[in-house]
């Protein structure tokens, strides 16, 4: 009896180490997965370093508003703000004397209210009033003297004149953090509860699953609204709120897998050999149930990111002037008709991020599948 | 890279090209009506809380109710001056404190005659607190209105000279040891007596009332027997002199009382229907459901699907039924502005409705279209300042913050709808009022004022938080303010958005330093704004009050000379400017899109558009006409 | 099996009780009350309003009253829409949401299962990557982007379908597709994952050894096994679809109950919130029950032991 047990222990040990080592080997062979890792690393680096880079290069910060420069389309060139003196006004027609010559603007709403001799700044805008040369009068920019260079804004600016690229990087940081942390929290709780529930079965299973049902039937909006309104708005509250609901699904999946796995021959064998419950769960059931969990995990990150966007949409997520990717996309979707770049760029960023996460998840899944060996 | 405009153009090309067979490039979407010429499709945005005029308090309900019920007076669709409606004419007497209305014979939609008593009963009903009317304070101008609504105690049989100076104090003394009192008011209508408003916490008041009645009712003082009861609706200063004559008595002269008649809380309610439902065992609260409702206005409510649509048909018994050209109105309840604009473009809506506001990002895009309209709107966007919360208890700091706001920039770059930037509460020109014209932006002065307030450079100002309710537009303005105060004063302000109910609660509890607010005029008179800051006004969220200010308002309203009255208002507003309990930003404009075939629509500063004026230019079924048809507004109705 | 089902049905009662209790008290913890408004309400009016709904009584008394009414299937009156009872509101909105949800689910299953099968059978080929990339687009495209995009193309450019509202079959297509696509993507990925699990399992190998055709193996054996994770996902997903999505019903202005929960929570419309939570819970619990039963059908190795 003792010899048999010893041999089981040893073979388990061998299988255990080779399981993860093999997985790593297989993952490296999967070109798509490796590419995904590289892309993800690049994106993470961009999000972490991007804001510093744009600040050092062009002085952009994620929260600096230049209202006169709002909603500029993307451009690789610096734009010029022209300041000058109003030399002729009336009849909806304005002439402004600038260092680069006289600029005429016609059909300007409110042009009749302006007095001659006033300092004016002209700004090139993406969407212009009906006037000449793509210039628009900016009545309040008296602080800027002469021609001032601004930009470039490679991805354009938002409605407030904030550099969109910088905001996307900053938003990427927030989204990645929310997505990852919430997903890790939910996966951990979910695997534990699901495994225990599935393996123990009976009363424990019934109790845990009823608990999951109850949690699931409570719309999490309440938790979030109440948490946020009572305790104030903190980013960690969003993790708690999202993590608290996210694990339920994982638990159900793991339980389903384990319910099915524990009737399999190899588990029966281990059990008949007297391997202890905890060991069976840890060595046999969880590794075998990991495939769907990893797939679900890669699906959880985008879900979390989107739920965070939904919360921001309701005013319960990140607070302005901060932003997350979902927040930026929501804003972009509302303005899609007018400022396309505010949707396209944050949207692409999120899409690439999610593509990377998903292909990495697939790679991991294939790598971790113990049956691949045979 | 392509130049900005060109790239934008490429993006829109597909849309414009695809649009042209159905639409016209000068217009935003289709321009051929998708329905018969006697029908219109509008949006109301949200499901109203009530269609009961007496209980109504939201703008979603008001835009429907104006078309279902007719009051004593109706606003002219352009200048909003009250003109005869159910009342053929009216007279003012007793120094502006008594109004007599002469009604034209008219019927409810079930054929029952409408009488003056219907109005009197409806007004009393609003003031009865058991009705639960959130706008009952609109009727406090009526004699004893406030007393009835607040369940004051009415005491008759007092032995003292009613208008002697010490009588209120003597009455108050009666309540010593019995109940705390807020104030005592003498009245001689409908019979001489005193009205005692009890104090204490809201929850304790019923108990105080019972105790006071127990102790004082039947009690004899100086040979006179007191009769004490809770002020009931019968005390309200309104009565029917006969079937077609209504008399309203007011607490004091109210120069704008006729304007109030166009406000929905004064509309009549079908008493006979409510009483019948009660008898039949139906909850009378449900009287506005399509299967029960009886109205007296231009339209009848025929169908309703909760949060989806309302359907109306013309009322054949309406007194000027012959003027109505639109027989059927379909009113949708679409909340999202993006969806509303989509439906409008696809021709599923003729007008986006008065409750849909266009987001500022879309303004410069929509402005060039022919079907875009904009006109001034009588509402002020401002921030309350909690004048008791340090450091905002320093009036000079408040003033400095106000001066450092570049309002023109907010209007030009954030709000973007040609709003009028203002540093004053009352819009200039309102009913002939000459505004203060306070400079709207003065960074130098602001910095000087900040030093006067005792701060060196702004960074030594203690933490300030500004709150606003969750909304894209409010956020953009709050962010702009944050930036301006940092730039011009060096003051760091935290901004925080709050969910609506939380926001309201915090505003009520005065749990804020600076909070966003918008105030829409109830009637066309400066008093609608100035009364906001009076000490007893429940909507005053600044904790600022001044006896002197309240006295100025009172003396203005009792002054028979209109010019002098406005001058006194101006003095009051100067007090406000120096105290800065609020921080005005701009006076709204209303921007909307309206199909070119929908006529009988004129912009006005309360954004009231009765469907009975609407009609459809049928030439648009054939194509885009060369010239618009003339569309003159109706002449003012004379007294008859 | 029959006894198992019966026991699970009986278990619903205490579960629902806990849900009602917890949510009843949680909603009341939130600051604010149903009658707060921008304009000050006279205190006497406010008191009478509160008394009408019983809000002036201690919370425990209100809870007892609510439970009592619930036993008589009375869900109470809405405070935000005082003319409507919660029962009426649900009866009007739920059928709309059900129809929308059915279309969305149909679309999700059609697209998802087929996409997943293609991915699994052609693992690591261009087909697989293509299908999964499309699925990823479905997942990463939030509904508030997909919806407006579909409207832009099909309603405002091609004038094929209405951009919103309700009433005919044409109104249901765009919101149904928008709502279903995200779920289709999940289903595709789960189907693919689940099928890959069984591709190399013993019973498939046995079937293949018996000389059964590939098509039969795919349909009868692999798909049955591969659908296990999908079924787990479908339980709550169905409930989610049917209870509707706030975003979709707002974008398309369909008169379903999707937006009611969040709106009611914001308005502190206590009884409406409770009604929707209850509806949602009953629906979800039933779906989970069905999932568990279907599980036994798909994988006979699962024992329904205590």
Query: Which pLDDT tens digit goes with each residue over B518-546?
Result: 888 888 888 999 989 988 788 899 999 99
pLDDT of residue B353: 93
Instruction: Check CB contact of B444 with chain A, cutoff 8 Å.
Output: no
Which residue pairs from A107-112 have beta carbons closer than 8 angstroms and sit at least 24 positions apart in sequence? A107/A131, A108/A136, A108/A137, A109/B367, A109/B418, A110/A139, A110/B418, A111/A137
Structure tokens at A64: 């600096």
| Cα–Cα distance, C110 to C100 (Å, whole number) | 16
Map tokens 């899944």 to a residue: A365
| Cα–Cα distance, C132 to B201 (Å, whole number) | 65
Smallest Cβ–Cβ distance between A65 and the set B1, B472, B480 belongs to B480
pLDDT of residue B43: 96
pLDDT of residue C88: 93
Q: How large is the average pLDDT for residues A295-313?
A: 74
Residue A315 has pLDDT above 70, yes or no: no
pLDDT of residue B326: 97
Question: What are the distances in angstroms from CA C82 to CA B27, B124, C30, C34, C78?
Answer: 40, 21, 21, 11, 5
Cβ–Cβ below 8 Å for A226 and C140: no
Q: Which of B1, B9, B412, B495 to mutate to test the interface with A (most CBs of A within 10 A)?
A: B412
User: Please, which pLDDT band fits residue A162 given cuts at 50, 70 and 90?
Assistant: confident
Map tokens 């400017």 to a residue: B577
Average pLDDT, chain B: 89
Q: Which residues contact A129 (CB under 8 A, 6 or more apart)?
A: A105, A107, A108, A109, A136, B364, B367
Q: How large is the average pLDDT for residues A219-239?
A: 65
Cβ–Cβ below 8 Å for A338 and B495: no
Structure tokens at A296: 């679900």
| Cα–Cα distance, A100 to A104 (Å, whole number) | 12
What are the two backbone dihedrals, phi and then psi, of residue B521, each rounded to the nearest 5 degrees? -65, 140
* More confident of the two residues A148 and B231: B231
Structure tokens at B147: 């007393």
Q: How many CB atoms lie within 10 A of CB B444?
A: 10
**In 3D, which of A243, A246, A253, A245 has the Cα closest to residue A194?**
A253
Average pLDDT, chain A: 72
Q: What angle do CA B193, B196, B198 make, to 5 degrees?
A: 165
* More confident of the two residues C134 and B276: B276
SS3 content of chain A, % helix, strand, coil (to 5): 65, 10, 25
| Cα–Cα distance, B19 to B6 (Å, whole number) | 19
What are the two backbone dihedrals, phi and then psi, of residue A34, each rounded to the nearest 5 degrees? -65, -40
Of these ranges, A76-90, B227-241, C24-38, C118-132, the one predicted with the greatest mean pLDDT is B227-241
Q: Which residues contact C8 (CB under 8 A, 6 or more apart)?
A: C289, C292
Residue B512 has pLDDT above 90, yes or no: yes
Burial (CB count within 10 angstroms: exposed 0-12, middle 13-18, buried 19+), residue A54 = buried
Contacts of A291 in chain C (CB under 8 A): 193, 196-197
Structure tokens at C306: 């205590």
pLDDT of residue A186: 85
Question: What are the distances in angstroms from CA B399 to CA B423, B447, B454, B543, B544?
Answer: 10, 10, 13, 16, 14
pTM for the structure as a whole? 0.84
Structure tokens at B199: 């104090």
Q: How large is the average pLDDT for residues A202-220?
A: 79
Residue A140 has pLDDT above 70, yes or no: no
Q: How large is the average pLDDT for residues A349-356?
A: 82
Judge contact between A358 and A21, C-beta under 8 A. Answer: no
| Cα–Cα distance, B43 to B348 (Å, whole number) | 10
Residue A3 has pLDDT above 50, yes or no: no
Q: Write the pLDDT tens digit of every residue in C124-138.
A: 788 888 887 788 777
Residue B130 has pLDDT above 60, yes or no: yes
Q: Alpha carbon B336 to chain centroid distance?
A: 23
Partner residues linked to B41 by β-bridges? B330
Instruction: Check CB contact of A80 with chain B, cutoff 8 Å.
Output: no
Q: Write the pLDDT tens digit of every residue in C229-288.
A: 787 777 767 877 776 677 888 889 999 888 887 788 878 899 998 998 888 888 877 877
User: Please, which pLDDT band fits residue C153 given cuts at 50, 70 and 90?
Assistant: confident
| Cα–Cα distance, B48 to B64 (Å, whole number) | 9
* More confident of the two residues A119 and A257: A257
* More confident of the two residues B290 and C167: B290
Judge contact between B152 and B194, C-beta under 8 A. Answer: no
Instruction: Check CB contact of C248 with chain A, cutoff 8 Å.
Output: no
The 3-state DSSP class for residue B363 equals: helix
The count of CB pairs under 8 A between chains A and B is 95
Partner residues linked to B515 by β-bridges? B384, B467
Q: Write the pLDDT tens digit of every residue in B584-619.
A: 999 999 999 999 999 999 988 889 999 999 999 999
Judge contact between C112 and C183, C-beta under 8 A. Answer: yes
pLDDT of residue B601: 95
Pairing of strands B39-43, B328-332: parallel
Q: Alpha carbon B529 to chain centroid distance?
A: 11
Residue A127 has pLDDT above 60, yes or no: no
Instruction: Check CB contact of C299 with chain A, cutoff 8 Å.
Output: yes
| Cα–Cα distance, C248 to B238 (Å, whole number) | 51
Cβ–Cβ below 8 Å for A314 and C262: yes
What are the two backbone dihedrals, phi and then psi, of residue B313, each rounded to the nearest 5 degrees? -125, 155
pLDDT of residue C31: 78
DSSP tag of A154: T
Q: Which residues contact B134 (CB under 8 A, 6 or more apart)?
A: B55, B57, C35, C37, C39, C41, C45
Residue B573 has pLDDT above 70, yes or no: yes
Structure tokens at B2: 């392509």
Q: How large is the average pLDDT for residues C51-56?
A: 89
The 3-state DSSP class for residue B441 equals: coil
Q: How large is the average pLDDT for residues B171-192?
A: 90
| Cα–Cα distance, B625 to B597 (Å, whole number) | 10
Which B residues, 393 through 412, put their C-beta within 8 Å of a C-beta on chain A?
A: 406, 408-409, 412
pLDDT of residue B314: 97
* Alpha-carbon distance A52 to nearest alpha carbon in chain C (angstroms): 27
Structure tokens at A218: 């409570």
Structure tokens at A369: 């599948």
Map tokens 């061998």 to a residue: A14
Instruction: Classify C95 in phi/psi space as left (phi over 0), alpha (psi -120 to 50) or beta.
Output: alpha
Q: Alpha carbon B90 to chain centroid distance?
A: 24
| Cα–Cα distance, B566 to B185 (Å, whole number) | 27
| Cα–Cα distance, A210 to C15 (Å, whole number) | 7
User: Please, which pLDDT band fits residue B22 given cuts at 50, 70 and 90?
Assistant: low
Query: Of the given ranges (A109-123, A167-181, C170-184), which has the lowest mean pLDDT?
Result: A109-123
pLDDT of residue A145: 37
pLDDT of residue A34: 87
Give me the DSSP letters along B184-228: EEEE-SSSSEEEEEE-S-TTTHHHHHHHHHHHHTT-EETTEE-EE
The 3-state DSSP class for residue B6 equals: helix
User: Please, which pLDDT band fits residue A338 given cuts at 50, 70 and 90?
Assistant: confident
Cβ–Cβ below 8 Å for A320 and B408: no
User: Please, which pLDDT band fits residue A91 given cuts at 50, 70 and 90?
Assistant: low
Cis, peptide link before residue B286, omega less than 30° from 0: no
Residue B8 has pLDDT above 70, yes or no: no
Q: Write the pLDDT tens digit of every residue in A103-112.
A: 666 555 555 5
- Nearest chain A residue to C119 by CA distance is A362
Which B residues, 461 through 490, put their C-beta within 8 Å of a C-beta on chain A?
A: 470-472, 475-476, 478-480, 483
Q: How many residues does chain B have?
A: 640
Per DSSP, helices labelled H in C217-269 are 223-243, 246-251, 260-267
Instruction: Check CB contact of C178 with chain A, cutoff 8 Å.
Output: no
Residue A75 has pLDDT above 80, yes or no: no
Smallest Cβ–Cβ distance between A260 and the set C132, C280, C302 belongs to C302
Give me the DSSP letters along B502-522: HHHHHHHTT--SEEEEEEE-S
Residue A77 has pLDDT above 90, yes or no: no
* More confident of the two residues B112 and A295: B112
Structure tokens at C186: 């999940």
Q: How many CB atoms lie within 10 A of CB B260?
A: 22
Instruction: Check CB contact of B26 with chain A, cutoff 8 Å.
Output: no
The 3-state DSSP class for residue A107 equals: coil
**Helices A325-334, A164-200: crossing angle, 10 deg rounding:** 120
Contacts of A219 in chain C (CB under 8 A): 261, 276-277, 280
Residue B447 has pLDDT above 90, yes or no: yes
Cα torsion A351, A356, A361, A362: sign: positive
**Helices C169-199, C223-243: crossing angle, 10 deg rounding:** 150
pLDDT of residue C60: 94
Cβ–Cβ below 8 Å for A32 and C129: yes
End-to-end CA distance of chain B: give it in Å, rounded: 70
Partner residues linked to A82 by β-bridges? A122
User: Please, which pLDDT band fits residue A146 given cuts at 50, 70 and 90?
Assistant: very low
User: Please, which pLDDT band fits residue A99 given cuts at 50, 70 and 90?
Assistant: low
Residue C306 has pLDDT above 80, yes or no: no
Q: What is the CA radius of gyration of chain C?
A: 24
Q: Alpha carbon A138 to chain centroid distance?
A: 35
Cβ–Cβ below 8 Å for C284 and A263: no
Q: Write the pLDDT tens digit of every residue in A10-60.
A: 444 444 455 667 777 777 887 878 888 899 899 999 999 988 888 888 878
Judge contact between B434 and B530, C-beta under 8 A. Answer: no
Q: Which of B29, B364, B506, B585 to mutate to test the interface with A (most CBs of A within 10 A)?
A: B364
The 3-state DSSP class for residue B382 equals: strand
pLDDT of residue A117: 62
The 3-state DSSP class for residue C99 equals: helix
- Nearest chain B residue to C91 by CA distance is B306
Cα torsion C19, C24, C27, C29: sign: negative
Judge contact between B604 and B80, C-beta under 8 A. Answer: yes
Contacts of B368 in chain A (CB under 8 A): 130
pLDDT of residue A105: 60
- Nearest chain A residue to C134 by CA distance is A355
């Amino acid at each position: 009896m003792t010899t048999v047990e010893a041999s089981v222990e040893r073979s388990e040990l061998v299988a255990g180490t080779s399981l993860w080592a093999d997985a790593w080997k297989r993952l490296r062979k999967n070109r798509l997965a490796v590419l995904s890792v590289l892309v993800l690393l690049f994106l993470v680096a961009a999000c972490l370093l991007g804001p510093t880079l744009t600040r050092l290069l062009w002085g952009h910060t994620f929260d600096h508003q230049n209202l006169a420069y709002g909603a500029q389309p993307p451009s690789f060139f610096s734009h010029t703000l022209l300041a000058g003196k109003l030399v002729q006004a009336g009849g909806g027609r304005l002439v402004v004397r600038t260092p680069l010559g006289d600029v005429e603007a016609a059909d300007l709403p409110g042009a009749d209210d302006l007095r001659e001799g006033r300092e004016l700044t002209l700004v090139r805008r993406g969407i212009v009033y009906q006037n000449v040369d793509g210039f628009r009068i900016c009545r309040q920019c008296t602080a800027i003297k002469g021609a001032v260079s601004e930009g470039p804004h490679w991805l354009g600016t938002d409605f407030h004149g904030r550099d969109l690229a910088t905001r996307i990087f900053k938003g990427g940081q927030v989204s990645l953090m929310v997505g990852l942390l919430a997903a890790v929290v939910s996966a951990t709780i979910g695997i534990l509860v699901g495994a225990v529930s599935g393996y123990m079965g009976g009363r424990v299973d019934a109790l845990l699953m009823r608990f999951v049902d109850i949690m699931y039937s409570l719309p999490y909006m309440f938790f979030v609204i109440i948490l946020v309104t009572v305790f104030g708005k903190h980013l960690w509250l969003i993790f708690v709120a999202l993590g608290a609901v996210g694990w339920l699904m994982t638990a159900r999946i793991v339980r389903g897998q384990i319910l099915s796995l524990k009737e399999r021959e190899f588990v029966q064998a281990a059990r008949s050999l007297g391997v202890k419950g905890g060991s069976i769960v840890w060595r046999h059931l969880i590794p075998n149930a990991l495939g769907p969990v990893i797939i679900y995990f890669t699906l959880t990150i985008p879900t979390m990111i989107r739920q965070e966007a939904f919360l921001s949409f309701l005013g319960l997520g990140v607070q302005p002037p901060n932003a997350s990717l979902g927040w930026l996309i929501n804003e972009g979707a509302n303005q899609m008709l007018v400022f396309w770049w505010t949707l396209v760029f944050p949207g692409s960023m999120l899409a690439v991020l999610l593509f990377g996460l998903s292909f990495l998840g697939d790679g991991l899944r294939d790598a971790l599948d113990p049956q691949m060996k045979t | 890279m392509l130049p900005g405009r060109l790239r934008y153009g490429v993006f829109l090309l597909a849309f414009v090209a695809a649009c042209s067979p159905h639409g016209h490039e000068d217009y935003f979407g289709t321009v051929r009506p998708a329905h018969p010429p006697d029908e219109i499709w509008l949006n109301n945005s949200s499901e109203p809380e009530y269609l009961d005029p007496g209980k109504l308090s939201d703008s979603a309900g008001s835009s429907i109710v104006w078309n279902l019920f007719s009051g004593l007076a109706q606003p002219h669709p352009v200048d909003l001056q009250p003109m005869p409606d159910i009342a053929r004419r009216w007279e003012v007497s007793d120094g502006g404190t008594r109004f007599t209305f002469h009604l034209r014979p008219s019927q409810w939609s079930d054929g029952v005659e409408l009488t003056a008593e219907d109005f009197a009963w409806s007004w009393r009903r609003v003031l009865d607190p058991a009705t639960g009317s959130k706008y009952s304070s609109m009727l406090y101008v009526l004699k004893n209105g406030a007393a009835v609504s607040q369940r004051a105690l009415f005491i008759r049989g007092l032995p003292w000279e009613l208008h002697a100076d010490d009588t209120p104090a003597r009455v108050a003394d009666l309540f010593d040891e019995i109940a705390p009192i807020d104030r005592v008011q003498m009245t001689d209508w409908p019979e001489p007596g005193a009205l005692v408003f009890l104090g204490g916490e809201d929850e304790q008041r019923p108990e105080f009332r019972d105790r006071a009645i127990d102790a004082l009712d039947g009690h004899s003082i100086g040979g006179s027997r007191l009769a004490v009861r809770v002020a009931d609706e019968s005390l309200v200063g309104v009565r029917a002199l006969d079937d077609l004559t209504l008399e309203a008595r007011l607490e004091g002269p109210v120069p704008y009382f006729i304007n109030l008649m166009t406000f929905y809380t004064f509309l009549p309610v079908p008493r006979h229907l409510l009483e019948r439902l009660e008898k039949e065992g139906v909850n009378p609260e449900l009287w506005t459901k399509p299967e029960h409702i009886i109205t007296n206005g231009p339209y009848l409510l025929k169908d309703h699907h909760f949060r989806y649509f309302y359907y109306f048909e013309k009322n054949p018994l309406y007194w000027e039924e012959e003027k109505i050209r639109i027989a059927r109105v379909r009113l949708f309840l679409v909340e999202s502005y993006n969806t509303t604009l989509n439906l409008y473009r696809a021709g599923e809506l003729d007008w986006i409705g008065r409750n849909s506001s266009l987001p500022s990002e879309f303004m410069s895009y929509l402005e060039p279209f022919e079907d875009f309209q904009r006109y001034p709107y009588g509402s002020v966007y401002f921030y309350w300042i909690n004048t008791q919360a340090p450091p905002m208890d320093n009036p000079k700091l408040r003033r400095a913050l106000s001066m450092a706001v570049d309002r023109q920039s907010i209007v030009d770059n954030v709000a973007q709808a040609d709003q009028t930037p203002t540093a004053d509460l009352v819009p200039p020109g309102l009913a002939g009022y000459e505004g203060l014209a306070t400079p709207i932006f003065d960074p130098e002065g602001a910095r000087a004022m900040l030093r006067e307030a005792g701060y060196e450079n702004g960074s030594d100002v203690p933490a300030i938080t500004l709150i606003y309710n969750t909304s894209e537009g409010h956020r953009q303005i709050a962010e702009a303010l944050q930036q301006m105060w940092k730039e011009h004063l060096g003051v760091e302000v935290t901004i925080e958005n709050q969910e609506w109910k939380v926001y309201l609660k915090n505003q009520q509890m005065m749990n804020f330093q600076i909070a966003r607010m918008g105030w829409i005029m109830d009637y066309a008179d400066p008093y609608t704004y100035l009364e906001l800051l009076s000490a007893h006004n429940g909507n005053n969220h600044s904790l600022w009050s001044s006896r002197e200010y309240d006295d100025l308002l009172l003396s203005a309203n009792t002054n028979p000379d209109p010019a002098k009255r406005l001058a006194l208002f101006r003095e009051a507003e100067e007090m406000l400017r120096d105290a800065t309990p609020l921080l005005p930003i701009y006076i709204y404009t209303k921007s909307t899109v309206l199909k070119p075939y929908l006529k009988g629509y004129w912009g006005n500063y309360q954004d009231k558009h009765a469907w009975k004026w609407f009609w459809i230019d049928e030439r648009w079924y054939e194509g885009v006409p060369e010239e618009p048809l003339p569309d003159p507004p109706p002449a003012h109705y004379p007294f008859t | 099996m029959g006894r198992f089902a019966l026991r699970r049905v009986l278990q619903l009662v205490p579960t629902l009780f806990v849900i009602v209790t917890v949510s009843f008290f949680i909603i009341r913890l939130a600051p604010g009350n149903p009658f707060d408004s921008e304009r000050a309400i006279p205190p006497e009016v406010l008191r009478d309003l509160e008394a009408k709904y019983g809000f002036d009584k201690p919370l425990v008394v209100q809870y007892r009253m609510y439970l009592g009414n619930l036993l008589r299937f009375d869900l109470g009156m809405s405070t935000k829409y005082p003319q409507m009872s919660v029962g009426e509101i649900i009866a009007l909105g739920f059928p709309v949401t059900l129809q929308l949800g059915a279309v969305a689910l149909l679309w999700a299953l059609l697209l998802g299962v087929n996409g997943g099968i293609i991915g699994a059978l052609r693992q690591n080929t261009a087909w697989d990557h293509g299908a999964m990339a499309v699925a990823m687009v479905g997942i990463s495209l939030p509904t508030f982007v997909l919806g407006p995009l579909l409207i832009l193309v099909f309603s405002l450019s091609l004038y094929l379908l209405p951009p919103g509202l309700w009433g005919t079959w044409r109104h249901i297509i765009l919101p149904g597709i928008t709502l279903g696509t995200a779920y289709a993507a999940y289903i595709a990925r789960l189907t693919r994952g689940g099928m890959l699990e069984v591709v190399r399992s013993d019973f498939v190998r046995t079937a293949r050894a018996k000389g059964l055709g590939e098509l039969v193996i795919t349909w009868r054996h692999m798909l049955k096994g591969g659908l296990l994770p999908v079924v787990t996902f479908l339980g709550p997903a169905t409930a989610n679809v049917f209870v509707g999505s706030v975003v979709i019903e707002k974008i398309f202005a369909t008169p379903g109950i999707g937006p009611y929960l969040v709106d009611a929570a914001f308005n502190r419309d206590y009884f409406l919130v409770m009604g929707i939570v209850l509806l949602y819970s009953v629906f979800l619990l039933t779906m989970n029950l069905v999932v568990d039963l279907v599980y036994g059908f798909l994988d006979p190795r699962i024992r329904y032991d205590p």
